[in-house]
A and B are shown apart, each in its own frame.
Chain A
Amino acid sequence: MTAPDPEFLEIFRDEAGGRLDHVVDTLLALENGSAAADAVDSLFRDVHTIKGAAGMVGLADVSALAHVMEDLLADARHRGALATEHIDPLLRASDALRRHVAGEGEPNAGLIAELAAVQAPGNGTTAEPHQPVAPAAAPAPAAESRSIRVPAEKIDTLLDLVGETVLHRRRLEHELGANGHAGHGIVTDELDRGERLLDGLKGAAIGMRTLPLSSIVTPLPRAVRDLATETGKQVELFVVGAETELDRAILEGLSEPLVHLLRNAIGHGIESPEERERAGKPARGRLELRAEQRGSIVEVTVADDGRGISEGTLAEARRTGSLTAVLTQPGFSTAGGVSAISGRGVGLDAVKEQAEAFGGSIEVRSEPGLGMDVILRLPLALALIEVLLVERAGNVYGFPLTSVEEAVSLGETLSLGGRPAIDLRGRSIALADLAELMGAAAAAQVPRAPVVVLTASGQRVALVCDALLGKEEVVVKSLGPLLAALPSYLGAAILGDGRIALLVDPAVLVRAAAPPRAAAAAPSNGNAPAPSNGHAPAPKVLVVEDSLTIRELQRSILEAAGYRVQTARDGRDALAYIGGDNGIDIVVTDVEMPEMTGIELTESIRAHATCSALPVVIVTSLGDDEHRQRGIDAGADAYMVKQRFDQHDLLETVERLVGR
């Protein structure tokens, strides 16, 4: 993380100042009874926007304080009114925010605690001043969070039981369906009720065992900045997949190895700005912390674009057959000398030990000059994923729903560089037989066979199968350590009818189906999709966002990547562009906006006479699951979490959807 661009800070200060004026006016109007009907809504939107924008320009203090204000206001919005005794703390918080925005804030932990306390259930309507209550006093104040210690095995037992209950539920549905009971009103109602209860139970049980990676990444951007400064390097940290849930016990022990890996990357990997420029790289190094659930494991990767391993190390890796083994030998060091940052040696052996202590593993990938990826693979106590089930040549396969782009039926096939392909709305996608790709005997294909389009690592493949069996939430079971060498599988799942579905790793399929790189790059290949070489105008992105800061930030990111950008201030404004002849190729929209929200905008686009297929990306604050679900229900194509300058995520998503 680098310091925020002064230009954006300036825009942010202007915007936040205006919004804070509005917040204070509205609060005062509420106090003297002259407020408009939507006063609480507008307070919520202002504070929400300040929170999001502050997060994006890296002002964590502002973001944290705005966050508790937002919680309080969300609660008020929910109840339909803001309690008068909350006005004073909100006014004081607004003043504190203003000082922080101006860069002269003091620590506001006290204020945050106060706001969190008044918001706690039971305190919302009382007019009594909030007094600290002695712990001995009964009943205990609800604001005080009590905790109990429970052995991890007990929670694991609970998780196992939840997994079994999910399986049982699927069996029950299967049996009821097979016996024709599923249509009955009462049975259907009770099944629905059971599904909701099970969802709640799952969430509660998994929440006991897991936390998102974001819970430990907060100090990392700062650490990276300090380390980079110390070594005279320029480094930018990108965090991708911060919402990925990890086992709590692992997460606690993960901070140290992660800092260690970041330290290594800065100390040994990323070169000095001069050296980078000589090597034709941007002066500023790129450091990425990435987390992704893959079946029953989570992959946490620290990737840098630095100098990578030496030729000598590469030669040794070739000799021994494993780069990981070479680099994780005790005492191995890629460091030429001893630096203040990394001490003696890289200490990857320590990281390896730690990963193995968690029941995980480590892999290192690197090439001289091309940076290094260190991948930690960590187990999940209970892994539930949604999959699309398909059948091919007698086997049932499951694809993670997150990788499934769409399913169509097989029509005319084309040839792309001598390989079969299909045309999907003007895009050519490599076509492969699922059975063949998996290494099974390829039976004859059914007429107009269903084709599933999978996407992974920015590439697509269209897979021919015999039948689509529908989507299902499954418990991922490992194939066991003896089959760990099989790369194609994320695991297996047991279905309602007792059959086994093989869960396939989309990344492996996409790689297997991809044409060799050389062929794809050959200019003579007339069938290849046109690269963005200037013949066609760059895709046009409509950025819909009520915060000027975020809007301008997104514009600069997208324009720097070569897109044309149109901006709109809310949903209604956006619809005017979409309706007209503006050649919009994709919409990137915020959720909370005046006039028309991003959800309503998405619904309007989907119902639009001519633009219903326009890709829509919804961008919201971290961990807002309700909006996420509503966005998906409304028909959004992708969902992104606002993060500090997370341009990688934004660009990748936009690129995926416009197929550039």
Chain B
Amino acid sequence: MSSVHVRLRVGREHYAVPIENVLEVAELGALSPLPGAGGAVLGVRNLRGSVLPVFDLARVLAIAGDATAPRVVVAEHDGRLAGLAVDEVTDVVALEAEAEQAEAGHLSGAILEDGRLVGIIDVERLFSSLAGQAA
């Protein structure tokens, strides 16, 4: 079984998000900071007339990212939207390998590709955690 994923990089780590959860990839753009929100919330931005909350994916995953995360992956689940700021969006691929079941909080599993471990982000679980980190 293969499925199409958007692959991205945060710091030195690689992740993939199922394409059905990705609406688009955009530049970070002009962010309005949101005073009072948790550290994982970078702010909100105007995405063609709607207000998109943008989260620092490195911070959410508790890993070290680059100093700036210039790209935003607009993720969707069950009508909820979030921009995930990442360092790089590498490509869109069909992942051939079977994902290993992993128990890590935001991941549904992981695969080994070209000698690199790629974490498969579970957007539903990620969103539950984002909602908890908003305030």
Give A contacts to B, CB under 8 Å: 164, 167, 394-396, 435, 438-440, 477-489, 491-492, 494, 498-500, 502
Residues of A within 8 A of B130 (CB): 482
Measured between alpha carbons, how far is A435 from B33 in the docked complex, in Å?
12
**CB pair B135 A479 closer than 8 Å:** no
A481, B80: Cβ atoms under 8 Å?
yes
Residues of chain B having any CB pair with chain A under 8 Å: 30, 32-37, 41, 44-46, 49-53, 55, 79-82, 127, 130-132, 134-135
- Is the CB–CB distance between B41 and A483 below 8 Å? yes
Q: Main secondary structure on chain A at its contact with chain B? A: mixed
Q: Name A481's contact: one of B32, B34, B46, B131 (CB within 8 Å).
A: B131
Determine the chain B residues whose CB is within 8 A of the CB of A500 once the complex forms: 32, 44-46, 51
Contact B33 A482 (CB under 8 A): no
A-B contact pairs, 19 of them (CB 8 A): A394-B33, A396-B32, A438-B36, A439-B36, A440-B36, A480-B52, A480-B81, A481-B131, A482-B55, A482-B81, A482-B130, A484-B134, A487-B135, A489-B34, A492-B32, A492-B51, A494-B46, A498-B46, A502-B32
- Give the docked Cα–Cα distance between A491 and B53 (Å): 11
B34, B46, B49: the one contacting A483 at CB < 8 Å is: B34
Listed from nearest, the 10 A-B pairs whose CB atoms lie closest are: A440-B35, A439-B36, A438-B35, A485-B135, A500-B32, A477-B51, A439-B35, A492-B51, A485-B134, A483-B134
Given A494-B49, A500-B44, A500-B46: A482 in contact with B35 (beta carbons within 8 A):
no
Give the distance in Å from the alpha carbon of A439 to the alpha carbon of B134 in the complex.
Answer: 14
Q: Which residue of B lies closest to A487 (CB)?
A: B135
Min CB gap B82→A, angstroms? 5
Tell me how far the C-beta of B89 lies from the nearest C-beta in chain A, rounded to whole angstroms.
21
Q: Are A395 and B35 in contact (CB under 8 A)?
A: yes
Q: Which residues of A contact B134 (CB under 8 A)?
A: 482-486
Point out the residues of chain B lying under 8 angstroms from A494, CB to CB.
46, 49, 51
A164 touches B49 (CB 8 A): yes
Contacts of B41 in A (CB 8 A): 483
- Given the complex of chains A and B, what is the CA–CA distance between A487 and B34 in angstroms? 12
Smallest CB–CB gap between B51 and chain A, Å?
Answer: 4
| B45 with A486: CB separation less than 8 A | no
Nearest CB of chain B from residue A509's CB, rounded to whole Å: 11
Given A483-B41, A483-B134, check contact A440 B33 (CB 8 Å): yes
Residues of A within 8 A of B32 (CB): 395-396, 492, 499-500, 502
Task: List B contacts of A394 (CB < 8 A).
Answer: 33
Minimum CB–CB distance for A370 against chain B, Å = 27
Name the residue on A nearest B47 (C-beta): A494
* In the bound complex, CA of A479 to CA of B135 (Å): 12
Which residue from A478, A480, A488 sits with its C-beta under 8 Å from B36? Answer: A488
In the complex, which residues of chain B have a beta carbon less than 8 angstroms from the beta carbon of A489?
A: 34
* Further contacts, 8 of them, CB under 8 A, given A396-B32, A440-B33, A488-B36: A482-B53, A482-B55, A482-B82, A484-B134, A487-B135, A488-B35, A494-B51, A500-B32
Q: Smallest CB–CB gap between A559 and chain B, Å?
A: 44
A483 to B83, CA, bound (A): 12
Smallest CB separation, B81 vs chain A (Å): 6
User: A492 to B31, alpha carbons, bound, how many Å?
Assistant: 13
Contact A483 B37 (CB under 8 A): yes
